[in-house]
Structures are given as structure tokens and as C-alpha cells.
A and B are shown apart, each in its own frame.
Chain A
């Protein structure tokens, strides 16, 4: 397994796991392009066998990225449960072929995005985004600022998931776990609060000036 597996936990999406695999060495731009092609392939190639084939390919990619197996698998559990539920429902409603295809496609796309973000540091991602958004300068835009916003959005995913967990725990502690208002309202308020705090932190550090 890769170094640092004891100290770092590769989250489901948005957390970088350092390493030296061939995927870590690839540029962020090529990974983004590959993700786009995969997204297209998932839509164009129909049928359960294609879906399972793509999923097998992505699993092989994930293995070759040498992400820590235990933490990555644990992080994928909610996705797998969702895929099982959605796939099961589709099997019941539209037959096994559709159910398998939808479940496999869901896991394929999210796993691919996880592998891309887990093997690309935020710094390299920002550099790639800034380069890709270069044409914005011609219309008076600021590629660095837009890239920073996109990069932060991707990296905010683990923080938002943590916020959701904290809110759920707080609701449970007060016996309100079945009240959607006790879950959704504080989660939204905290997400907005975090966005404001992030903006202030960036301003204080002179990032994006």
C-alpha cells in the first residue's frame, strides 16, 4: 500500500491522498479530460455489460492508484448502499438489466471522480484550472479567481459531509433526529457560515487579490 496510509484517510471525494503511482504523476488536465470522456461513455454505451465493463476498468484504475484499501472502501460504503438501493428499485420497476446498469454507472462515475481528486493535489488542480480558464482573460475575467472557487468547491466536499454528520449528531442528542428541520436548516446555515468564513480567510491571507 501507499505511504502514509496510517495517517491519511482518503475520503470519498475531495481529499487528496499523496503518492507516487502513475496516476499521481499524470497532470490534472488529462485526468479532467478522462473524466469528461468517461461521463460521455457512461451515457452513450448502454446495457449492463458495458456498465460492468466500465466499472471494472475504474476499479482497476483505483487499485493502480494505490489508495489505502481500508479507508477508501469504508468511505465508499454510503455510495455502495445508495447504488444498491437505487439499483434494487430499478430492478423491481424496470428489470435487472436497467437496475444493474444504473447502479454500476453511479459507482463508476463517483469512484472515477474520487480517484481523480485523491491523486491530484489542490495546488496542481488549481494550476490546471487556471490554465484551462485562461481565455476568460480576453473578456475581462480572472481565471485565478474562478479556478480558486472551483478548486475550493471540490475540496469543500469532505468538510460539508462532516458538517452534515455534526448536525445529525446534534439533532440526535436533542432527540430531534426525525425532524427534517433540525437537520436541513442548521446544515444550510453552517454551510453558508463556512462559505463566509472561507471567503474571509482567503481575504485575510491575500489569496485571490
Chain B
């Protein structure tokens, strides 16, 4: 369960203070929650609050009762995070090494290589275990990023536009994978079809949650917002 209580995010900018997220209160218990909104609206800030990558300037954010500010390490063990660009997420030169890096926390050294290969096999990447990461396609990289995060079985998965950089085929693969997960999923997306499959959708605009409800109404509210030309 994800709980935000009057959570705000502000940053110092040009001698002043800029608000990235206005006071937000919500409790997310649904298995699939989507966040939609324009570029720069505060969606990613909201997502980053959930695993403690960004801490609230005021208010609190809790995941399963753990405070992201006080219990940061424990929160990050419970909440996996997938970035838009897998190149930002993959830090080791080969897939097997990258997954093994994730497993250092949970699997003893003797069995880590075998466990990493088993994870890759589960995600259909067994044949690419030793291929340099930079030689993988964008879709394979995103699949690998997901494998590295899911290898440690987080309770919650936060995905910040995981399919934005993918072609239609890989988008389908990643969507299917995300739909099949047992974990609670917080999906930041521009893909309205993916948002429509969620149990609940938050619409974010100008740093505030302006709509919170069932997918059909949320998508309609978002489309209405977007009908205005950008300023």
C-alpha cells in the first residue's frame, strides 16, 4: 500500500522556490495504478517519491507502513523502479553481470551466477547473457532492466514511462509482462491504452493530481486537458 499525506516537492531555482508537486494526499491500494499527464506535469516526481529517489519537502510518503524519508533502504528493498531509458538503469557491461549485481543483496556468492542466468532465462534473455549490453536492442535492454529489478522480487514496482522509447512490438512485450506481474504496479505512462487497463488512474497537471478515479473517466479528463494548445 502506498500512502501520500500532504506530500509536496519543492526545489530551489533561480533564487526562488519552485514547486514540483503540490500537497498531495492519496492512498493507493489497487494492484494497477496508472499516472498520466503532460510532459513536465510532475508524474515522474510523484513516481520517484514512492521509492525514495525523491524525498518529500513536506508531508510523508509511506510504502507498506515504511516512511521513505526514515526507512529509505527498507523502502528501496520493497519498491523496484524502472526508468524510461534502460541505458540509465543498466550499470554493468553484460546482462548476467547486471542481474548478478541486483542479486548481491539476496543470493550468496556461490549461487549468484546460476541464479542470474535463471532470471535471464525467465525473461527470455538466456541467449544474451554475455552479449555486451550496448549491443542489445532497446526492447531487450528494457526487458533486462525489468529483469534486474524483478530479480529481487520487490512488493511494488514503479515504472516511469517504460515503453516510451520502444517500438510497437517491444511495447507489447513489456505491456504483457507488466500486466502479468503479481506486484502492485505504479505505471507512469503516455500510453492511454495501458492506462485504460489500470484499476485506478491519477491525472497529474502542473504539479497536482487533478483527477483520481476509474480509467475511462480519467482518460477523458486527461484528453480534455490536452485539448488546449501548449503555452
The chain A residues found within 8 Å of chain B, CB to CB, are 4, 7-9, 11, 14-18, 121-124, 126-127, 152, 155, 158-159, 162, 197-198, 200-207, 209
Do residues A207 and B102 form an inter-chain contact, with CB atoms below 8 A? Answer: yes
Do residues B132 and A202 form an inter-chain contact, with CB atoms below 8 A? Answer: no
Indicate the member of A8, A126, A198 with the most B CB atoms within 10 Å.
Answer: A8
Query: Distance in Å from the Cβ of B124 to the closest Cβ of chain A?
Result: 15
Produce 1/0 per residue, B103-136, CB < 8 A to A: 0110001001100100000000001111110110
State A123–B51 Cα separation when bound (angstroms). 25
Do residues A206 and B94 form an inter-chain contact, with CB atoms below 8 A? Answer: no
Do residues B97 and A204 form an inter-chain contact, with CB atoms below 8 A? Answer: no
Top 10 nearest A-B pairs (CB, nearest first) are A206-B76, A209-B73, A204-B81, A197-B88, A122-B97, A123-B100, A8-B130, A201-B89, A7-B131, A15-B93
Contacts of A123 in B (CB 8 A): 97, 100-101, 104, 109, 112-113, 116
Q: A7-B130, A122-B100, A127-B109 are in contact. List 16 more A-B contacts (CB 8 A).
A: A15-B94, A122-B97, A123-B109, A123-B116, A158-B132, A159-B93, A200-B88, A201-B88, A203-B53, A204-B89, A205-B89, A205-B149, A206-B76, A207-B101, A209-B76, A209-B77
CB within 8 A of A205: which of B81, B100, B129? B81
CB of B148 within 8 Å of the partner chain: yes
Contacts of B165 in A (CB 8 A): none
Do residues B72 and A209 form an inter-chain contact, with CB atoms below 8 A? Answer: yes
Indicate the member of A4, A14, A127, A201 with the most B CB atoms within 10 Å.
Answer: A201
Contacts of A209 in B (CB 8 A): 72-73, 76-77
9 contacts between A and B (CB under 8 A): A7-B127, A11-B132, A14-B93, A15-B132, A17-B130, A201-B91, A204-B83, A205-B80, A205-B148
